[in-house]
């Protein structure tokens, strides 16, 4: 992939939009880094990997990007549906996929030498991580959907947990059983296509029991 490096930018997503497939925009700093649903992504200058990759459209792009990013980070990094990278139960990074015609803009933010309170950082070298990430993305883009789903399941921190789903105005709880072939999360038999989940303690499924980091014992 062709790397376009910038110092400071509003959001790498916006800059990537005007580049062809196969380009990755990497910034030292974003003045208006974006998360999903109008949220923001924070990182002081030079402390994170902030990249937007222009990739061919892929239905399972958020999951494929998650698997690729987790693989680049190392075996200890796990995935929280739909788009978080977790290290020891804390958010290490996030993925923002925006489809636009025949392509998608895959935004990846990974904390390296700084993290907001309660979040995690990897303490890895940015260039080394980028050099692992780009081939991993291309590899996962070329694989069959079933392989992406299988790899996502193997990395998942969400599956087998009780979760609270916030879906539009509705909130419900249930066991996160699986991901369906379209990448949606199956919670208590219902498919959740978009939105957010909170991981809950198994024994205390009340608001007070919202927990991150996760316990290390298997559940």
Q: Give the integer Cα–Cα distance in Å for 113 and 49.
A: 10
If one asks whether residue 95 binds ligand BT5 (CB under 6 A), the answer comes out as: yes
**Cis, bond preceding 21 (omega within 30 deg of 0):** no
If one asks whether residue 83 binds ligand BT5 (CB under 6 A), the answer comes out as: yes
**Cis, bond preceding 51 (omega within 30 deg of 0):** no
Is residue 185 within 8 A of residue 197, CB to CB? The reply is: yes
> Which of the ranges 65-73, 108-116, 135-143, 158-166 carries the binding residues for ligand BT5, by CB under 6 A?
108-116
If one asks whether residue 13 binds ligand BT5 (CB under 6 A), the answer comes out as: yes
If one asks whether residue 158 binds ligand BT5 (CB under 6 A), the answer comes out as: no
Using a 10 angstrom Cβ sphere, with 0-12 exposed, 13-18 middle and 19 or more buried, the burial of residue 142 is exposed
How many C-beta atoms surround the C-beta of residue 75 within 10 A?
Answer: 8
Binds ligand BT5 (CB under 6 A): choice among 62, 66, 109, 183: 109
Q: Which is nearer to ligand BT5, 16 or 148 (CB)?
A: 16
Q: To the nearest whole angstrom, how small is the minimum distance from the Cβ of residue 31 to ligand BT5? A: 10
Is residue 185 within 8 A of residue 158, CB to CB? The reply is: yes
Binds ligand BT5 (CB under 6 A): choice among 30, 53, 149, 198: 30
CA angle 216, 64, 87 (to 5 degrees): 25
How many C-beta atoms surround the C-beta of residue 214 within 10 A?
Answer: 17
Binds ligand BT5 (CB under 6 A): choice among 3, 8, 22, 39: 39
Contact positions with ligand BT5 (CB under 6 A) in 115-154: 115-116, 119
If one asks whether residue 43 binds ligand BT5 (CB under 6 A), the answer comes out as: yes
Q: To the nearest whole angstrom, how small is the minimum distance from the Cβ of residue 65 to ligand BT5? A: 10
Q: Give the integer Cα–Cα distance in Å for 76 and 46.
A: 23
- Residues binding ligand BT5 (CB under 6 A): 11-13, 30, 33-37, 39, 41-43, 50-52, 83-84, 91, 94-96, 107-109, 111, 115-116, 119
């Amino acid at each position: 992939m062709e790397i376009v490096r910038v110092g400071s930018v509003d959001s790498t997503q916006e800059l990537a939009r005007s580049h062809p497939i196969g380009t990755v925009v990497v910034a030292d700093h974003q003045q208006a880094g974006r998360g999903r649903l109008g949220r923001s992504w924070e990182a002081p200058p030079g402390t994170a990997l902030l990249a937007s990759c222009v990739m061919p459209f892929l239905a399972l792009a958020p999951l494929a990007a998650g698997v690729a990013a987790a693989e680049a980070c190392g075996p200890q990094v796990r995935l929280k549906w739909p788009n978080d990278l977790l290290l020891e139960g804390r958010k290490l990074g996030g993925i923002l996929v925006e489809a636009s015609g025949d392509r998608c803009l895959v935004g990846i933010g990974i904390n390296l030498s700084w993290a907001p309170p309660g979040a995690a950082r990897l303490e890895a070298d940015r260039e080394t991580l980028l050099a692992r990430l780009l081939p991993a993305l291309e590899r996962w883009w070329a694989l069959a959907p079933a392989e992406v789903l299988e790899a996502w399941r193997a990395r998942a921190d969400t599956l087998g947990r009780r979760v609270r789903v916030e879906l539009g105005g509705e909130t419900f709880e249930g066991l996160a059983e699986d991901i369906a072939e379209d990448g949606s999360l199956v919670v208590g038999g219902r498919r959740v296509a978009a939105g957010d989940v909170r991981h809950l303690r198994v024994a205390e499924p009340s608001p007070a029991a919202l927990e991150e980091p996760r316990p290390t014992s298997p559940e």
